[in-house]
Chains A and B, each alone.
Chain A
Amino acid sequence: MTLHHAQQTEFSPNIRLPDQPLLKVESLTKRYGLRIGCADVSFDLFPGEVLGIVGESGSGKSTLLSCLAGHLAPDEGRVIFDTASGPRDVREMTEPDRRRLLRSDWAYVHQNPRDGLRMGVSAGGNVGERLMAAGARHYGAIRDKAVDWLGRVEIAADRIDDRPSAFSGGMQQRLQIARNLVTGPRLVFMDEPTGGLDVSVQARLLDLLRGLVRDLGLSVIIVTHDLAVVRLLADRLMVMKGGRVVEQGLTDQVLDDPQHAYTQLLVSSVLQV
């Protein structure tokens, strides 16, 4: 039997796409006194999409991510998330509702795993803690789930009782990812997740992230200065300069046919290996 017999060729032009964005950002602005952190940022993020945000240091990409994730209060604009009870402006939520959102539907992967992990608590405890915060109570079930997730991020089960301080940088980052994803979030914010890692560890982490995004249908907003990382990970790209979005589009289009002067400079400045 040839391969093609097993498959149905479909010519249907109807491509089913979710019509409701998971996250809708409107005119988000954050100022530090007279200085602009980020200004007038608007975009939609749909379920299953990975959005990369690139720009040099000081371009406002981290400020934007912090405003989106609720770590910083923006001065203007709206961040509307499609919650279980319909789209809601995150800024208008009550504090308990927002906390619940941060613990369940949202996750945040820090560049430095130390910022996202509890270094004095075991690996299993780090994963289980987030489950308990989301309402899990049965110890056996929590531990089983923790073991399952450590396996998914390729941490051996016999390391479950070790503290993260005994882990390598790459393992710590994978543990942080497990801790974040164990509660089944729908939206994950990532700030330079491969930043402090050497290249071979980076590759393994990229592969892991790609698999998780595909298998779990996650939506991801990833901030990085590494164009190679976004090319492999992001569906869409936003380029920031001076706090503003200067260009956005399909990742390979922005990288292969950049329209804005700054993007052209950014792309042509990458060293080839």
Chain B
Amino acid sequence: MITIRNLSKSFTLHNQGGAVIPVMAGASLTVAPGECVALVGASGAGKSTLMRMVWGNYLAASGEILVGGVNVATAAPRQIIALRRATLGHVSQFLRVVPRVPTREVVAEPLLALGTPRTEALAQAEAMLQRLNIPERLWSLSPTTFSGGEQQRVNIARGFVHSYPVLLLDEPTASLDAGNREVVLRLVEEAKARGAAILGIFHDEGARARLCDREVDVTGFTPGLAA
């Protein structure tokens, strides 16, 4: 479901003397349906950069990123938007929402965007919030005022409310207590079982050992560091 071939990336900092910083070269990997692959490597090695390129908010300099048949590296914005709506899910570490929108609406939004009837979308959102132990009294409030762990779980609820065939997970178990961590691990296992291809960053070693079929060390893709 994800095939990356010979991907490279550099940043040009126009306002800092036009410095060109190569950050990735020759990155290649695949993730099959039902498989979970962990990106590993030291901080700054390019794990997040690679994830962002797959998500499409970082431009590739060269190479291919095939996700569900779409080459994200060259696709038109509207193709990437359609891909994100139906196929490619993303659980980031940051919750970015319109202020004052109730939590249940935030979580239901991916379903509403897919045309799911409103009552059904809200019911599924509530079931997901329940599963992630977000107290019902919070559902009608905006998540912008929630604690870090609660925001993280709202983000996870939004990422799992639709059965995306491809999922990007950026530290999904960070800042969670043991009980909620277990809920998230089960969600990921269920996603794998239904055939989702998952690419993720997991600093939580126990989670990585339990969920991931393979590890890819991005240090090998760092220009100047690759042996």
Smallest beta-carbon distance B55→chain A, Å: 8
**Interface window among A24-32, A91-99, A125-133, A251-259:** A251-259
Could you say which interface size class chain B belongs to?
Answer: 35 or more
Residues of B whose CB lies within 8 Å of any CB of A are 1, 11-15, 33, 52, 56-59, 68-70, 77-83, 86-87, 96-101, 112-113, 124, 127-128, 131, 161-163, 165, 190, 194-196
List 9 additional A-B contacts (Cβ < 8 Å) besides A7-B163, A200-B100, A261-B15.
A4-B190, A13-B68, A14-B69, A235-B78, A235-B81, A250-B56, A250-B77, A255-B57, A256-B57
With A9-B195, A235-B81: A259-B12 Cβ-Cβ less than 8 Å: yes
Specify which chain B residues have a CB less than 8 angstroms from the CB of A252 in the assembled complex.
56-57
Could you say which interface size class chain A belongs to?
Answer: 35 or more
Smallest beta-carbon distance A263→chain B, Å: 9
With A9-B165, A268-B15: A256-B58 Cβ-Cβ less than 8 Å: yes
Contact B124 A207 (CB under 8 A): no
Contact B15 A15 (CB under 8 A): no
Q: Does A57 contact B (CB under 8 A)?
A: no
Q: Quick one: closest B residue to A45, CB to CB?
A: B78
Interface residue ranges of A14-46 to B (CB < 8 Å): 14-15, 17, 46
With A235-B81, A253-B56: A2-B15 Cβ-Cβ less than 8 Å: no
With A11-B165, A11-B195, A235-B78: A257-B68 Cβ-Cβ less than 8 Å: no
Contact A11 B58 (CB under 8 A): no
Which residue in B33, B70, B80, B99 is a CB contact (below 8 Å) of A11?
A: B33
Smallest beta-carbon distance B144→chain A, Å: 9
Q: Does A159 contact B (CB under 8 A)?
A: no
Contact A46 B15 (CB under 8 A): no
Number of A-B contacts (CB under 8 A): 99
Q: Does A271 contact B (CB under 8 A)?
A: no
Specify which chain B residues have a CB less than 8 angstroms from the CB of A268 in the assembled complex.
15
Specify which chain B residues have a CB less than 8 angstroms from the CB of A232 in the assembled complex.
96-98
- 10 cross-chain pairs, A with B, having the tightest CB-CB distances, nearest first: A13-B69, A261-B14, A203-B99, A252-B57, A250-B77, A15-B82, A256-B57, A257-B58, A203-B100, A7-B163
Q: Quick one: closest A residue to B60, CB to CB?
A: A257
Q: Does A214 contact B (CB under 8 A)?
A: yes
Residues of A whose CB lies within 8 Å of any CB of B are 2-4, 6-11, 13-15, 17, 46, 49, 199-200, 203-204, 206-207, 210, 214, 231-232, 235-236, 249-250, 252-253, 255-257, 259-261, 264-265, 268
Contact A4 B163 (CB under 8 A): yes
With A15-B79, A253-B56: A3-B161 Cβ-Cβ less than 8 Å: yes
A235 to B80, CA, bound (A): 10
Specify which chain A residues have a CB less than 8 angstroms from the CB of B80 in the assembled complex.
250
Smallest beta-carbon distance A248→chain B, Å: 8
Q: Which of B70, B77, B131, B194 has the most CB of A within 10 A?
A: B77
Specify which chain B residues have a CB less than 8 angstroms from the CB of A2 in the assembled complex.
190
26 contacts between A and B (CB under 8 A): A2-B190, A4-B163, A4-B194, A11-B1, A11-B68, A11-B165, A13-B68, A14-B69, A17-B78, A46-B78, A203-B98, A203-B100, A204-B100, A207-B100, A210-B98, A235-B78, A250-B77, A253-B56, A256-B57, A257-B11, A257-B52, A257-B58, A257-B59, A259-B12, A260-B14, A264-B14
Smallest beta-carbon distance B138→chain A, Å: 18
Specify which chain A residues have a CB less than 8 angstroms from the CB of B52 in the assembled complex.
256-257
Which residue in B58, B83, B97 is a CB contact (below 8 Å) of A15?
A: B83
